[in-house]
Structure 1
């Protein structure tokens, strides 16, 4: 079911957006050569505790997950692009790390993701990350009353395909509100002027994720981490936004 939020409810969602942004900033800044993924998860966990927030991940067990996630942040490295389960891995120079985090504050959820290169960056990785960021910006710009979900999807796809990437549509954006994942689904490829009309109060996560040379993925033995089928690297950018009568509101905007 698709729910539209009142202006007062959107105001109550802002603290969740700010908190999610702060955790991504902290974990992104802490992601250095020699840091373990479990240390990043512990940092996010401690920030949740101090803020009195609730994790959306730790008990999360959808049909595509082998078991409850058990951690509070997704850490996807190199050829992993989504749902990376934190494990005993120490970051190395040149690793491409995607961080995805969602939390609930006072009953309202926000969801966001960022990708970064640890240490020395390859030009190809910087291009991949920047393309997801530009696709996110294009998707947000299309999130206006009078447009449809397909306009967001088409805007994302135009940037991704224009940079030479193929696009997987198995996973994409989604509604956000009292829970992390709701309707509508927001694919990263689609046709303009198709799909649900965008109305004021619609809150969605827009999340372009691209792989370098393939759109095929497989699930790790951990039952969660999604990797590229050919070993190429992936990047992921995401914001929770609200459609309004004017410009969209980016609830998870980072400094």
Structure 2
């Protein structure tokens, strides 16, 4: 079901997303070699709870943590644990927040110490592709316009788009229709309407687009072991154009 949100609902969804953005900005100072990913998750959860909100991912479909923390070749849905960050890693952190019944969702890929230039480039192009997609999130356009803008940009730079996992509607539920793939054809898919809120989230691999899910049924890795980057914003589609509800201070 597609939920078209009122001004009041979008204001409430913005408050949830502000906590997501604040949590992502907050956690950056903890990201350094030697830190366990479960410590990052614990800090994120405590931060959200202090804001009188709830970590929306914890328990969602059975997910065991407050945040998804995905290192290097983990594309998405990494479960925080005993892994200690190493110099040169990249770590994608995906956070969902529920406040007063409304949901926010965003992700950011952080650098750990001295990251190789080729990996930094992957992250930069992935983040830029997110904004290429957001530019197309306009009333009268179609979902495929967002998808194609992302795909065209990253493939032009030699990277590949994950097919199995996509963006989505968000706000009243953590995951709503429509699905928002990061690949597709311009002019295809559902027409975008005023009041939609979409979580647009390119997941871009350095090598093959193929991925697999580990035995834990959550952790998604690249099939060739090469790095993957992930950036996400929740975006409201309004008459004057797209509005990012989860703007992050690092940007």
Provide TM-score, normalisation by structure 1: 0.95
Cα distance in 2 between the residues matched to 1:247 and 1:148: 13
Classify the secondary structure of the residue corresponding to 1:248.
strand
Aligned equivalents of 1:222, 1:234: Cα separation in 2: 19
Report the aligned-residue RMSD.
0.9
- TM superposition shift of 1:177: 1.4
2:27 aligned with 1:27: yes
Q: Does 1:247 align with 2:241?
A: yes
Partner of 2:36: 36
Please list every run of 5 or more consecutive structure 1 residues that lacks an aligned counterpart in the other structure.
62-67
* Distance across 2 between alignment mates of 1:88 and 1:232: 21
Q: 1:104 aligns with which of 98, 107, 111?
A: 98
The Cα of 1:96 is off from its aligned counterpart by 1.0
Give the match for residue 207 of structure 1.
Answer: 201
Alignment partner of 2:127 out of 113, 116, 133: 133
Matched, 1:230 2:230: no
Cα distance between partner residues in 2 of 1:225 and 1:29: 25
Matched residues in 2 for 1:148 and 1:128: separation? 27
| In structure 2, C-alpha distance between the alignment counterparts of 1:220 and 1:87, rounded to whole Å | 15
CA contact 2:203–2:229 (8 Å) conserved in 1: yes
Cα drift, residue 158 of structure 1: 1.1
Question: Equivalent residue for 2:141?
Answer: 147
How far is 1:26 from its partner? 1.4
Within 2, Cα distance between the matches of 1:187 and 1:81? 15
Q: CA deviation at 1:27?
A: 1.6
CA apart distance, 1:28: 2.5
Cα distance in 2 between the residues matched to 1:40 and 1:164: 32
- Residues 13-42 of structure 1, C-alpha deviation per residue, up to 9 Å, x if partnerless? 111010000111112231111111011001
Matched, 1:161 2:160: no
1:177 aligned to 2:161?
no
Distance 2:107 2:29 in 1: 14
Q: 1:14 — aligned with what?
A: 14
Which residue is 1:78 aligned to? Answer: 72
Give, in whole Å, the separation in 2 of the partners of 1:244 and 1:181: 20
Contact 1:117 1:125 in 2 (8 A): no
| Secondary structure at 2:119 match in 1 | helix
User: Using the alignment, how far apart are the partners of 2:25 and 2:173 within structure 1?
Assistant: 22
Aligned-pair CA distance for 1:219: 1.1
How many aligned residue pairs are there?
249
Return the alpha-carbon distance in structure 2 between the equivalents of residues 90 and 203 of structure 1.
Answer: 35
TM-score (norm 2): 0.97
Q: CA deviation at 1:118?
A: 0.1
Q: Using the alignment, how far apart are the partners of 1:146 and 1:223 within structure 2?
A: 38
1:58 matched to 2:52: no
Unpaired segments ≥5 residues, structure 2? none
Runs of 4+ in 1 over 4 A off after TM superposition: none
Residues 1:4 and 2:8 aligned together: no
